Structure 1
Amino acid sequence: MSLVQTPLTVDTLNQVQQQTVALATQEDLNLIQLLMKGGWIMIPIILLFFLGLVIFFERYITISKAGKSEGGLLAQVKSNVLSGKLDAAMAVCRSSNSALARMLQKGLTRVGRPIKDIEGAIENQGKLEVSRLEKNINILGIIAGIAPMLGFVGTIFGVIQIFRDVEVAGGIDIGSVSGGLYVKMIASASGLTIGILAYIGYHILNMMVERLILRIETDAIEFIDLLDEPSL
């Protein structure tokens, strides 16, 4: 008896699995089709979504790499400077491809000049490093503002189209009007969602940059204080 039931049970399970996969695929297709029903305005909204993703992950990876520990870079530079080995300190900076290393190297090239000149050189290099870190982040802020507006534009055009159809038909069909509004609200919902995501990504990247800048500025001040000691 059990030998007869086992194949039937296996077949039943296989059928259930196939139906589940088919339903999942159908739901995915329905979601894509539903988004496309938002109208032509969905094309720029989707493009903004992918642009925001590319910028966020590219900047996130770049800032994360720049924020990694320097592995005692400042300590090595300080040790060489205190020993009077400026060339060795410069070599340490050149071997480390980081924002702090480039700032310290710029300061080392000014050793022997007034401390104000050294501070100015480090500060100018720091501005360049900050601009590199903040590259394209403002585009996320622009996307956060534009995407919801595009969604509203799509909804407005949809409403206009619905009333035009009502005028042509000479009567109001509640089903078609409500269905049309349902479809056109997709553009508004998509624009708002992408705008919120871009807004969150924009502030996450800005917070990462601010923390990194604070750490670099702290190390740069410590380096300047070292050069400003009377023994140097």
Structure 2
Amino acid sequence: MDFWKMSAWQIFKAGGPLMWPILLCSIFALAITMEKILHLHKIRIDVKGFLDSVIEKLKHANVKEAVSICEKTNAPVANILKAGIIKYNASRDEIKEAMEDASLYEVPRLEKNLSALATIAHISPLLGLLGTVTGMVRAFQVIQVKATSLNPVSPGDLAGGIWEALLTTVAGLMVAIPTYVAYNFFVSRVNSIIVNMERAATELVNFITQHSGLARKKE
């Protein structure tokens, strides 16, 4: 049978029972990928512009308006800065601690399902390899049966069994490669967001500390 003329269902059936868990892996990987794309798009903001607008309010001691800007902004950095702004009149250490506590909630939300995506990228080719090994075992069993029954065994019998067994490896790699690419992309984006959050938090702490210090001197 010509591989390139086979339908997807024919290839799936020829691959054997381990094609099912590989298919499930592909479905889960696709679902996680779509969820992460939508989530990262939803929380995407201009961090510099957002931080500038918050600091502009704080320059005029409009703490409530600064908090309001954070509440209206759907992004992890907004929630972290809000935690610091609420502690506006507290010490530098208390402000930092408040934002660190907020980050303990926000960072896991950003990293949600990334470990699952990495797991799928790792186990998919292993499932494919397992399917290939079990398929080759079946192929050699068929050849053994033919040999013991004195039926002629042709090279085609062996080759036919092997190429069908290799289908699971192909399927596993087809799932693993794009999943691994997606995983690395999301890790890169999440790390970039975390770095931006840390920079924004540091700038806010420095501003509040300096601004509150100047205010106290004027008093």
TM-score, scaled relative to structure 2: 0.88
Tell whether 2:38 aligns with 1:61.
yes
Match of 1:17 in 2: none
Query: How many residue pairs align between the two structures?
Result: 206
Letter in 2 for 1:231: L
**Cα deviations by residue, 1:56-111 (Å, 9 ceiling, x for unpaired):** 12112211322232583222221221111211211221122221111111111212
Q: Quote the sequence identity (%).
A: 27
Equivalent-residue separation in structure 2 for 1:33 and 1:160 (angstroms):
21
Q: After superposition, where does 1:1-80 map in structure 2 within 5 Å?
A: 27=5, 30-69=7-46, 72-80=49-57
Q: Is the 8 A contact 2:131 2:168 kept in 1?
A: yes
Equivalent-residue separation in structure 2 for 1:56 and 1:195 (angstroms):
13
Match of 1:124 in 2: 101
Equivalent-residue separation in structure 2 for 1:205 and 1:76 (angstroms):
28
Query: Aligned pair in 2 of structure 1 residues 111, 71: CA closer, same or farther (>3 Å)?
Result: closer
Tell whether 2:152 aligns with 1:190.
no
Q: CA deviation at 1:206?
A: 0.2
Equivalent-residue separation in structure 2 for 1:111 and 1:71 (angstroms):
20
Letter in 2 for 1:180: G
Q: After superposition, where does 1:197-212 map in structure 2 within 5 Å?
A: 197-212=178-193
Give the 4+ runs in structure 1 shifted more than 3 A.
none
Q: Is the 8 A contact 2:43 2:74 kept in 1?
A: no
Equivalent-residue separation in structure 1 for 2:192 and 2:111 (angstroms):
13
Letter in 2 for 1:215: N
Equivalent-residue separation in structure 2 for 1:218 and 1:37 (angstroms):
54
Q: CA deviation at 1:194?
A: 1.3
- Select 1:220's aligned residue among 201, 205, 208: 201
Tell whether 2:98 aligns with 1:159.
no
Q: CA deviation at 1:193?
A: 2.2
Structure 2: 5+ residue runs without aligned partners?
none
Letter in 1 for 2:214: S
**Cα deviations by residue, 1:102-142 (Å, 9 ceiling, x for unpaired):** 11111112122211010011122123211101100111110
Q: Is the 8 A contact 2:120 2:176 kept in 1?
A: yes
